[in-house]
């Protein structure tokens, strides 16, 4: 169905090609997963399938890409629209019209499909993806999972034979991700579509893949059966890391596979993990007390009277589905966002009533899109600006802070050209320059690969070791399991549960990390804990992940 024949892709001005001499074959009806760290060329590989690379992005493509017999050298993306459907990470950015039904039709109108056929296909697609009740709804009013399903629907109406999905669930909460993945697997199984999928959160998708294409980062690509490729892949979900650790062959890819093999492992593991996953520091004195916080946007009540107390050195996760009030709570506590009711007490003062400059010396927030805080042309200028902004603070210079978080970011780099992880580090360093006692992070793991998350975990733990309180709003169960001491689960603007990570996370099937699901009822959360229990002297830094 898809053939890559010695494909080399070089972008203009790049020193070396992103992909070098890649030859691949994806057979009809396969679900093919593309894995690799950030920046190894996953998106370039996907873009080459429908000719967006190089027709749209620029650069040079040597070799030949053929899809359903058509050569992308002679067919630009628009001429391949009836064969390849492409869905990106942010569905809203790709919508052209404003209601569900019109959006489904748009592609067909471009392809000049007869009105009666369009009518029929719209109804079919609405049913196929479970969107019938949403047909007249404006696109920006429906949930993220529904938007992503609409985005898939919009390309399906053209009846393509290949579906290309570039990180379709990255921006979604676990439930919405499930919803989208269920739709995708259904398309593969029922319609026989060929699907090529790239995803960071491998724990969500690897078990559905028929083949895996691994991009190790040197421009090459290796394709093969998932259980073989994942043995040595540079990125791996916890279930695969556990499988590698205890040498299960063939490698289990799903919790179910691993659970069926885990009997002997459970027998070998001590009943209590040797150490808690967190840094183990006893919570210090209370730093922040928030009482009866209320946030409302018109009729919508985002946060309904939430109480939250934080201690020094504590890492607290705030979880809950999209729209449950996590972000609103963080912004309300920081004082920059809306707050219609309640008080926050931090060092005897309420940050809302302080000028922003003083408030950020007590409590800092890194927003969901960190780049909103960056506006200068170079990293060096941003750092100098941050030093000027926090002139009175006792903390080290911003450059020093940045080097601790992410070494080797040159002064002359443009902030927009940094990777997600580097940009997060830069903003974190800028906010840390004011030496706040409480640090709030809104969705920091979005767009980070496993390596970058590991780095972030180290950073967060260091902040806690310096007796700061850290609050992280996130969907990332595995990150919470390996990093946070405490979890607050929110639903509909209220706190649903609040307690130590092991208790909260293991108690709920939706929030349990993969390792917990595999070894339950034993209270293990991460591969690192299992490794330590099996071999107390073991130091396997490359295995410890999550």
Q: What crossing angle do the helices spanning 115-128 and 144-156 adopt, rounded to 10°?
A: 140
Distance between CA atoms of 213 and 42, rounded to whole angstroms? 9
- Build a one-symbol-per-residue string for 323-362: x at contacts with other proteins by CB under 8 A, - elsewhere: --------x--x-xx-----------------xxx-xx--
Work out whether 384 is an interface residue with other proteins (CB under 8 A).
Answer: no
Residue 436 beta carbon to other proteins: minimum distance, rounded to whole angstroms: 11
As a whole number of angstroms, the distance between CA 9 and CA 6 comes to: 10
Question: What is the SS3 assignment for 442-489?
Answer: ECCCCCCCHHHHHHHHHHHHHHHHCCCEEEEECCCHHHHHHHCCEEEE
Write down the least CB distance from residue 430 to other proteins, Å: 7
Beta bridge partners of 2: 26, 67
Tell me the helices (H) and strands (E) count for the chain, helix number first: 22, 19
Whole-angstrom distance, CA of residue 269 vs CA of residue 125: 49
Residue whose C-alpha is closest to residue 311's, from 468, 461, 434: 468
Contact 166, 89 (CB under 8 A): yes
88 binds other proteins (CB under 8 A): yes
Per CB under 8 A, the segment of 14-22, 65-73, 91-99, 521-529 that binds other proteins is: 91-99
Instruction: Enter the DSSP assignment of 138.
Output: B
- Per DSSP, the three-state class of 287 is strand
Tell me which of 372, 408, 412, 417 binds other proteins, using CB under 8 A: 372
- 33-62 residues in contact with other proteins (CB under 8 A) are 50, 52, 55-56
Q: How far is CA 536 from the centre of its chain?
A: 32
CA angle 246, 247, 248 (to 5 degrees): 100
Binds other proteins by CB under 8 A, chosen from 137, 259, 266, 352: 137
Stretch near other proteins under the rule CB under 8 A, chosen from 215-223, 257-265, 373-381, 490-498: 373-381
Of the pair 146, 529, the CB lying nearest other proteins is at 146
Cβ distance to other proteins smaller for residue 85 or 252: 85
- Parallel/antiparallel/unpaired status of strands 194-198 and 162-166: parallel
3-state class of 307 per DSSP? strand
- Phi/psi of residue 517, each to 5°? -65, -30
The CB-of-97 to other proteins minimum distance in angstroms stands at: 7
Among 122, 172, 518, 522, binds other proteins (CB under 8 A): 122
**Packing angle, helices 379-389 and 398-405, rounded to 10:** 120
Say whether residue 430 binds other proteins (CB under 8 A).
yes
3, 21, 124, 387: residue in contact with other proteins (rule CB under 8 A): 124
Contacts (CB under 8 A) with other proteins, residues 463-522: none
Q: Which is nearer to other proteins, 297 or 499 (CB)?
A: 297
Neighbours of 395 (CB within 10 A): 15
Q: How far apart are CA 2 and CA 4, in angstroms?
A: 7
Q: For residue 29, state whether it binds other proteins (rule: CB under 8 A).
A: no
Using the rule CB under 8 A, is 16 a contact of other proteins?
no
Nearer to other proteins, 183 or 527 (CB): 183
185-190 long-range contacts, Cβ below 8 Å, gap at least 24? 185/31, 186/128, 187/128, 187/152, 187/156, 187/163, 188/29, 188/31
Q: Which member of 30, 173, 179, 241 binds other proteins (CB under 8 A)?
A: 179
Count of residues near other proteins by CB under 8 A:
91
Token reading at 147: 């938007």
Where in 143-162 is the site for other proteins (CB under 8 A)? 146, 149, 154-155, 158-159, 161
Say whether residue 307 binds other proteins (CB under 8 A): no
Residues 206-235: x where in contact with other proteins by CB under 8 A, - otherwise, as a string: ------------------------------
Binding of other proteins by 183 (CB under 8 A): yes
Judged by CB under 8 A, which of 35, 364, 456, 519 binds other proteins? 364
Rounded-to-integer distance, Cα 402 and Cα 427, Å: 9
Judged by CB under 8 A, which of 70, 186, 352, 462 binds other proteins? 186
Q: Which of 77, 216, 305, 323 binds other proteins (CB under 8 A)?
A: 77
State the Cα–Cα distance between residues 522 and 217, nearest whole angstrom: 37
Determine which residue in the list 5, 25, 60, 110 makes contact with other proteins, applying CB under 8 A: 110
Interface with other proteins includes 68 (CB under 8 A)?
no
Options 136-144, 270-278, 304-312, 497-505: segment touching other proteins (CB under 8 A): 136-144
When asked if residue 71 is in the footprint of other proteins (CB under 8 A), the reply is no
H-state helical runs in 217-370: 226-232, 238-245, 255-261, 263-268, 326-334, 356-362
Q: Does 266 bind other proteins (CB under 8 A)?
A: no
108 lines the binding site for other proteins (CB under 8 A): yes
* Binding of other proteins by 416 (CB under 8 A): yes
DSSP classification of residue 222: E
Does position 254 interact with other proteins (CB under 8 A)? The reply is: no
């Amino acid at each position: 169905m898809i053939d890559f024949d010695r494909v080399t892709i070089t972008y203009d001005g790049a020193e070396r090609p992103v992909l070098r001499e890649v030859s691949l074959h994806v057979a009809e009806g396969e679900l093919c997963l593309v894995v690799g760290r950030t920046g190894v060329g996953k998106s370039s590989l996907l873009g080459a399938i429908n000719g967006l690379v190089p027709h749209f992005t620029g650069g040079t493509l040597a070799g030949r890409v053929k899809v359903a017999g058509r050569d992308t050298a002679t067919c630009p993306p628009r001429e391949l629209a009836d064969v390849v459907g492409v869905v990106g990470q942010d569905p809203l950015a790709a919508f052209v019209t404003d209601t569900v039904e019109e959006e489904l039709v748009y592609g067909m109108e471009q392809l000049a499909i007869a009105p009666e056929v369009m009518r029929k296909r719209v109804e079919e697609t609405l049913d196929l993806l479970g969107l019938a009740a949403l047909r007249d709804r404006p696109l920006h009013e429906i949930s993220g999972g529904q938007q992503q399903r609409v985005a898939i629907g919009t390309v399906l109406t053209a009846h393509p034979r290949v579906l290309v999905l570039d990180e379709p669930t990255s921006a979604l909460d676990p439930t919405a991700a499930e919803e989208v993945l269920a739709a995708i697997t259904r398309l593969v199984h029922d319609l026989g579509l060929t699907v090529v999928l790239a995803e960071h959160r491998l724990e969500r998708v690897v078990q559905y893949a028929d083949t895996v294409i691994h991009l190790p980062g040197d421009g090459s690509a290796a394709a093969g059966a998932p259980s073989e490729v994942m043995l040595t892949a540079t990125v791996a979900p916890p279930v695969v890391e556990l499988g590698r650790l205890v040498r299960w062959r063939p490698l289990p890819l799903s919790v179910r596979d691993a659970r069926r093999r885990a009997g002997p492992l459970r027998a070998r593991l001590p009943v209590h993990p040797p150490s808690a996953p967190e840094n183990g520091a006893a919570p210090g004195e209370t730093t922040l007390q928030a009482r009866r916080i209320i946030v409302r946007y018109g009729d919508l009540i985002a946060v309904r009277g939430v109480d939250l107390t934080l201690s020094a050195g504590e890492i607290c996760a705030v979880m809950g589905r999209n729209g449950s009030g996590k972000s609103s709570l963080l912004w309300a506590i920081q004082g920059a966002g809306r707050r219609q009711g309640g008080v926050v007490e931090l060092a005897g003062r309420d940050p809302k009533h302080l000028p922003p400059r003083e408030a950020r010396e007590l409590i800092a927030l890194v927003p969901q899109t960190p780049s909103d805080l960056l506006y200068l042309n170079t990293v060096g200028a941003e750092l100098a600006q941050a030093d000027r902004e926090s002139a009175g603070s006792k903390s080290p210079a911003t450059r020093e802070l940045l080097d601790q978080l992410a070494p080797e970011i040159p002064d002359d780099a443009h902030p927009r050209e940094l990777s997600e992880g580097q940009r997060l580090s830069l903003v974190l360093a800028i906010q840390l320059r004011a030496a706040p006692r409480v640090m709030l992070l809104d969705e920091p793991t979005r767009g980070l690969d496993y390596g970058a998350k590991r780095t972030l975990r180290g950073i967060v733990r260091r902040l806690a070791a310096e007796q700061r309180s850290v609050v992280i709003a996130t969907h990332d169960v595995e990150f919470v399991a390996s990093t946070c001491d405490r979890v607050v689960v929110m639903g509909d603007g209220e706190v649903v549960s609040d307690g130590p990570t092991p208790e909260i996370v293991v108690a709920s099937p939706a929030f349990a990390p993969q390792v917990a699901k595999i070894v339950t009822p034993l209270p293990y959360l991460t591969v690192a804990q299992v490794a330590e229990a099996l071999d107390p002297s073991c130091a396997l830094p490359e295995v410890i992940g999550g």
